[in-house]
C-alpha cells in the first residue's frame, strides 16, 4: 500500500572499542575510521505493491538493510522514505510496517489468537473487529484450529504462519520478512513459498523479503536486489538478472547449477564479434554484438559465461569442444554432467529423454563427449573488472 524509497542509505557499525581485531573477520566489508560499512550507498525505489527480494550470501547486509527500513537499526547516512515521508527518525511502531522474523519471535506467553490480536489491541481496534480480523487471517493461513494453543505447542511451519498472521492483520503499508522460511525443512519451505505467493495476491501491500536462497528470490520477487559485501550488485526482474547478469558475481549467484566460466578471447571483426575458446570460434549473436559495439569494446581477453542448460551435446556442422565425463548426476528428467574440458570442470545439463520421447544414450565416467553452444547464450565479462560488456 505504499512506496518505499531508499536514497543513498549507508550503515556503518562503529568500532566497538578494543575489538579492533574483528576487522579481520568482517572479510570483504569496507572498513573506515568510523567503523565497518555493512551497507554501502543503497538506492532503491520500491513501487506500491511491489514484491522486492534482497538476496546475497551471508553477511552481505541484507538484514541490516531490512532492519533500517523497520527502524530497528539506525541509519548512518542517507534517507528512507515510506509513502513519501522521511522516516529516519520515526519509531518502528509509527512507521506502519510489519515484520516477520526468521526465528518467528512469537510471544511465548500468549495464545496464537492473542499473538495475532496483539498489534490490533495496541491500536485500540474495537473488540469485535479484532475477532473478525483474527479469524479472517487465521482462515487465510489455515491456522484456525490452533488459535487457542500456545506457540510452544506448534510446529515450525505453523509458528511461521502465526508470525505471518500477526504481520498481516494490521494491514501494514510495508511487510518486511527476514528469511522467514530458512528454519523450515525443504518440503515445508516449498509449500510455504507457494503460500506466500498466494498470500501476496490476497493482500495489498508492499513486500520486502530477505533470503539467501536464489530459488526463493527468483520465484517470489517482482524485482530482485542482489547484494555482496554491503554493495548492491544488480537490481532487476528475475528474468533480467538471469538473462543479463551485470557481473561475474551475479552470474554465478543466480541459477542452479552455477554458470560455467571460461577464459576466452573476444575478437572484433568487420561485421561483428567472435569469441575464440580452446581453438574453436563462436560468433557472437547480433544483439550482443551491437551492444559490444555501442560500448566500444575492442578485441581483448574476456571471461566467458555459459549456463549448463544452454550447452548442447550435438551441433550440426559446428566445431565442437571436447571433454571427459567425470560424474553424471541423475536428476530424473535430466543428467548433470561434470565434464573435464579445457583444463577445468564444466557442468552440462543433458536431457534424458528427447522431444520424441525416446531415451537418450546414458553417460558413464571416462566417456569422451563433444559439446558446443550458440552465440546467443554467451555472457561476456571483462576479465579485469568482472563486469558485463554487453549491458
Partner 1 sequence: MNTKNTLTAERRRKNILSVVLAAICIIYVLPVLTVVINSFKQNTYVKIETFALPTAESSAGFQNFITGMTFGNYPFWKSVAYSALITIVSTVLILLCTSMAAWYIARVNSKFCKIVYYLCVFSMVVPFQMVMYTLSKTADTLKLNTPWTIPIVYLGFGAGLAIFMFVGFVKSIPLEIEEAASIDGCGPIRTFFSVVFPMLRPTMISVGILEIMWVWNDYLLPYLVLDINEYRTIPIHIQYLKGSYGTVDLGATMALILLSIIPVIIFYLSCQKYIIKGVAAGAVKG
Ligand X SMILES: Nc1ncnc2c1ncn2[C@@H]1O[C@H](COP(=O)(O)OP(=O)(O)OP(=O)(O)O)[C@@H](O)[C@H]1O
Residues that bind Mg ion (CB under 5 A): 63
The entry of ligand X, partner 1, Mg ion, none that residue 92 binds, CB within 5 to 8 Å by partner kind? partner 1
User: Within 116-175, which residues bind partner 1 (CB under 8 A)?
Assistant: 118-119, 122-123, 166, 170
User: What CA–CA distance (Å, rounded) separates 157 from 176?
Assistant: 18
Q: CB 361 → ligand X: shortest distance, Å?
A: 42
Assess 36 for contact with ligand X (CB under 6 A). Answer: yes
Taking alpha carbons only, the member of 217, 257, 256, 220 closest to residue 233 is 217
Upper half-sphere CA count for residue 369 (Cβ side, 13 Å): 29
Strand-pair category, 321-330 with 334-341? antiparallel
Assess 300 for contact with partner 1 (CB under 8 A). Answer: no
Assess 233 for contact with ligand X (CB under 6 A). Answer: no
Assess 224 for contact with ligand X (CB under 6 A). Answer: no
Size of the site for ligand X (CB under 6 A): 14
Where does residue 104 fall: left (phi above 0), alpha (psi -120 to 50 degrees), or beta otherwise?
A: left
Q: Bridge-partner residues for 39, per DSSP?
A: 11
The entry of Mg ion, ligand X, partner 1, none that residue 71 binds, CB within 5 to 8 Å by partner kind? partner 1
Which range in 58-66, 75-83, 218-226, 246-254 contacts ligand X by CB under 6 A?
Answer: 58-66
Cell 552440462 identifies what position? Answer: 348
Our CB check for Mg ion shows the closer of 63 and 234 to be: 63
Find the binder of ligand X among 3, 7, 26, 320 (CB under 6 A). 26
Q: Bridge-partner residues for 267, per DSSP?
A: 274
Question: What are 291's three cell numbers?
Answer: 551492444
Tell me if 137 sits within 8 A of 169, measured CB to CB: yes
User: What CA–CA distance (Å, rounded) separates 313 from 296?
Assistant: 33
Find the binder of ligand X among 212, 265, 290, 318 (CB under 6 A). 212
Size of the site for partner 1 (CB under 8 A): 22
The entry of Mg ion, ligand X, partner 1, none that residue 253 binds, CB within 5 to 8 Å by partner kind? none
Assess 13 for contact with ligand X (CB under 6 A). Answer: yes
Burial of 278 (0-12, 13-18, 19+ CB in 10 A): middle
Assess 61 for contact with ligand X (CB under 6 A). Answer: yes
Assess 261 for contact with partner 1 (CB under 8 A). Answer: no
Taking alpha carbons only, the member of 249, 234, 238, 227 closest to residue 303 is 249
Q: CB 62 → partner 1: shortest distance, Å?
A: 16
- Any residues with CB less than 8 A from the CB of 386 and at least 6 apart, and which? 247, 248, 249, 303
Our CB check for ligand X shows the closer of 76 and 276 to be: 76
The entry of Mg ion, ligand X, partner 1, none that residue 109 binds, CB within 5 to 8 Å by partner kind? partner 1
Tell me if 349 sits within 8 A of 334, measured CB to CB: yes
Residues that bind partner 1 (CB under 8 A): 70-72, 91-93, 97-99, 101, 103, 105-109, 118-119, 122-123, 166, 170
Amino acid at each position: 500500500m505504499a512506496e518505499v524509497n531508499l536514497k543513498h542509505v549507508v550503515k556503518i557499525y562503529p568500532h566497538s572499542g578494543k575489538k579492533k581485531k574483528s576487522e579481520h573477520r568482517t572479510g570483504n566489508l569496507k572498513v573506515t575510521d568510523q567503523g565497518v560499512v555493512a551497507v554501502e550507498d543503497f538506492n532503491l525505489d520500491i513501487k506500491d505493491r511491489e514484491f522486492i527480494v534482497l538476496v546475497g550470501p551471508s553477511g552481505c547486509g541484507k538484514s541490516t538493510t531490512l532492519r533500517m527500513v523497520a527502524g530497528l537499526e539506525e541509519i548512518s547516512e542517507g534517507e528512507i522514505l515510506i509513502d513519501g515521508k522521511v522516516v529516519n527518525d520515526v519509531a518502528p511502531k509509527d512507521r506502519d510496517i510489519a515484520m516477520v522474523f526468521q526465528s518467528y519471535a512469537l510471544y511465548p506467553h500468549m495464545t496464537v489468537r492473542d499473538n495475532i490480536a496483539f498489534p490490533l489491541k495496541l491500536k485500540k481496534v474495537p473488540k469485535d473487529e479484532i475477532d473478525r480480523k483474527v479469524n479472517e487471517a487465521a482462515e487465510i493461513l489455515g491456522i484456525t484450529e490452533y488459535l487457542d494453543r500456545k506457540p510452544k505447542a506448534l510446529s515450525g511451519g505453523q509458528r511461521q504462519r502465526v508470525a505471518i498472521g500477526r504481520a498481516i492483520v494490521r494491514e501494514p503499508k510495508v511487510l518486511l520478512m527476514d528469511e522467514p522460511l530458512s528454519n523450515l525443512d525443504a518440503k515445508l519451505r516449498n509449500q510455504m513459498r507457494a503460500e506466500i505467493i498466494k498470500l501476496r495476491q490476497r493482500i495489498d501491500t508492499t513486500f520486502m523479503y530477505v533470503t539467501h536462497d536464489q530459488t526463493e528470490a527468483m520465484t517470489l520477487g517482482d524485482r530482485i536486489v542482489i547484494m555482496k559485501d554491503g554493495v548492491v550488485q544488480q537490481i532487476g526482474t528475475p528474468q533480467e538478472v538471469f538473462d543479463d547478469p551485470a557481473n561475474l558475481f551475479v552470474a554465478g549467484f543466480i541459477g542452479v547449477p552455477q554458470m560455467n566460466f571460461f577464459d576466452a578471447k573476444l575478437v572484433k571483426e568487420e561485421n561483428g564479434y567472435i569469441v575464440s575458446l580452446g581453438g574453436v570460434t563462436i560468433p557472437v549473436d547480433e544483439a550482443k554484438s551491437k551492444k559490444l559495439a555501442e560500448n566500444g569494446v575492442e578485441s581483448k581477453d574476456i571471461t566467458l559465461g555459459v549456463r549448463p542448460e544452454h550447452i548442447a551435446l550435438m551441433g550440426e556442422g559446428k566445431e565442437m569442444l571436447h571433454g571427459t565425463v567425470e560424474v553424471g548426476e541423475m536428476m530424473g528428467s535430466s543428467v548433470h554432467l561434470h565434464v573435464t574440458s579445457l583444463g577445468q570442470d564444466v557442468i552440462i545439463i543433458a536431457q534424458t529423454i528427447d522431444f520424441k520421447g525416446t531415451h537418450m544414450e546414458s553417460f558413464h565416467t571416462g566417456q569422451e563427449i563433444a559439446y558446443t553452444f550458440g552465440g546467443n547464450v554467451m555472457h561476456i565479462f571483462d576479465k579485469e573488472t568482472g563486469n558485463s560488456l554487453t549491458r
